[in-house]
């Protein structure tokens, strides 16, 4: 897309040049490469690409790469042992995990009530009362997570760093809100920022639709089909469509070429799960226009599966944050 800023870059052996001090916080040795991606940069993650190495006997001695079992176990250990609450990316992941878990609980109550008649008879308020409140709470938390991703997307002056420190480096300062000139001249051309903006707006529509399923409100609009379609179902369709669109943009952001999937990038998998979850939600929202029992059961089941997909994506996002400097071996 010509009017969008580039999302990928690779740097090889950046020399120490005083003229570059304002641009580079850290430099690379000649035998290493740095891989820059706008998604990873928002989270302060930078991939280091190194050449294959050998030991003293000449046998291959590869470094511990991002996909090695040892590194994976180390990252999982960090997930369970560290609480970097000052890291906005970590906070975003935790918020999305909580919101997705509430969606799972809410949709499970709906499925249980629709598929098990004895449960519905014993607890008629299970889906409408308790499930509705959980869905509303989950959508509100999801909106909070979307706002955090938007704040993350407007983060600062971009710097490229592949080392822990550098004598000539400058202190990095976070800016919560961008200047208007930066917003209209730079951020509107950032694929990640546009995706996060769409997600935040979609979450707002989704929150509105879940407000409408509260028993006190839904009983007043359910008898009027055009009213319920316009006030409740249409905003839900709009919100789910936005989730799919934002996920597709985030997928494209991680790819070096628009038509080649980045299977080796964890950010691509997170975005693809967002697309899958959004599609399941969208199909369920579309079927929800039908009042038949089969449609209501299908909607509940699709929502449950989609909630699990979002939860898995949120857990991967949490894992992603725990590895700020992944290492890859040059092929």
- Looking at 18, 44, 77, which one is the last position of a domain? 77
Letter string b/e over residues 63-89, b meaning 16 or more CB atoms within 10 A of that residue's CB: eeebeeeebeeebeeeeeeeeeeebbb
Enumerate residue ranges in the chain where pLDDT < 70: 1-3, 10-35, 49-64, 155-178, 182, 328-331
Within-domain flag for 274: yes
What pLDDT is recorded for position 283?
A: 97
Letter string b/e over residues 230-245, b meaning 16 or more CB atoms within 10 A of that residue's CB: ebbbebbbbbbbbbbb
Tokens at residue 73, please?
Answer: 């176990």
What pLDDT is recorded for position 30?
A: 56
What pLDDT is recorded for position 198?
A: 96
- Total domain count, the chain: 2
What backbone phi and psi angles, to 5 degrees, belong to 299?
A: -60, -45
Say if CB 184 and CB 223 are below 8 A apart: no
What pLDDT is recorded for position 273?
A: 97
**Is there a single domain that holds both residue 24 and residue 108?**
no
Within-domain flag for 287: yes
**Is there a single domain that holds both residue 203 and residue 262?**
yes
**Is there a single domain that holds both residue 72 and residue 115?**
no
**Is there a single domain that holds both residue 192 and residue 49?**
no
According to DSSP, residue 55 is labeled: -
What pLDDT is recorded for position 234?
A: 94
DSSP 17-28: -GGGTTTBSS--
What pLDDT is recorded for position 10?
A: 66
Residue 23 domain boundaries: 9-57+64-77
What pLDDT is recorded for position 146?
A: 95
What pLDDT is recorded for position 167?
A: 40
The contacts of residue 178 (CB under 8 Å, 6+ apart) are 154, 186, 187
**Is there a single domain that holds both residue 69 and residue 117?**
no
CA distances for 46 relative to 11, 66, 232, angstroms: 11, 12, 42
Letter string b/e over residues 256-272, b meaning 16 or more CB atoms within 10 A of that residue's CB: eeeeeebeebbbbbbbb
């Amino acid at each position: 897309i010509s009017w969008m800023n580039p999302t990928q870059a690779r740097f090889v052996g950046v020399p120490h040049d005083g003229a570059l001090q304002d641009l580079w916080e850290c430099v690379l040795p000649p035998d290493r490469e740095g891989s820059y991606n706008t998604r990873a940069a928002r989270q302060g993650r930078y991939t280091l690409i190194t050449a294959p190495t050998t030991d003293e006997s000449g046998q291959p001695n590869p470094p511990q790469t991002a996909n090695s079992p040892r590194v994976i176990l180390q990252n999982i250990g960090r997930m369970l042992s560290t609480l970097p609450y000052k890291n906005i990316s970590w906070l975003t992941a935790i918020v999305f995990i909580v919101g997705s878990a509430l969606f799972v609980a809410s949709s499970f109550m709906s499925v249980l009530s629709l598929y098990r008649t004895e449960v519905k008879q014993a607890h008629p308020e299970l889906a409408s009362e308790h499930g509705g409140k959980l869905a509303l709470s989950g959508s509100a938390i999801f909106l909070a997570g979307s706002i955090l991703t938007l704040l993350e997307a407007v983060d600062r002056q971009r710097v490229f760093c592949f080392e822990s420190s550098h004598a000539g480096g400058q202190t990095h300062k976070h800016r919560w809100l961008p200047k208007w000139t930066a917003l209209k001249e730079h951020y509107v051309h950032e694929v990640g920022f546009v995706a996060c903006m769409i997600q935040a707006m979609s979450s707002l529509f989704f929150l509105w639709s879940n407000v409408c399923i509260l028993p006190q409100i839904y009983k007043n609009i359910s008898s009027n089909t055009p009213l319920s379609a316009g006030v409740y179902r249409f905003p839900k369709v709009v919100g789910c469509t936005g989730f799919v669109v934002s996920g597709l943009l985030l997928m494209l952001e991680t790819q070096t070429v628009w038509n080649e999937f980045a299977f080796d990038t964890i950010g691509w998998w997170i975005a693809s799960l967002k697309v899958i979850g959004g599609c399941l939600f969208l199909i369920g929202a579309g079927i929800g226009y039908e009042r038949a029992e089969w449609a209501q059961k299908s909607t509940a089941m699709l929502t449950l599966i989609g909630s699990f997909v979002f939860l898995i994506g949120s857990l991967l996002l949490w894992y992603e944050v725990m590895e700020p400097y992944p290492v890859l071996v040059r092929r």
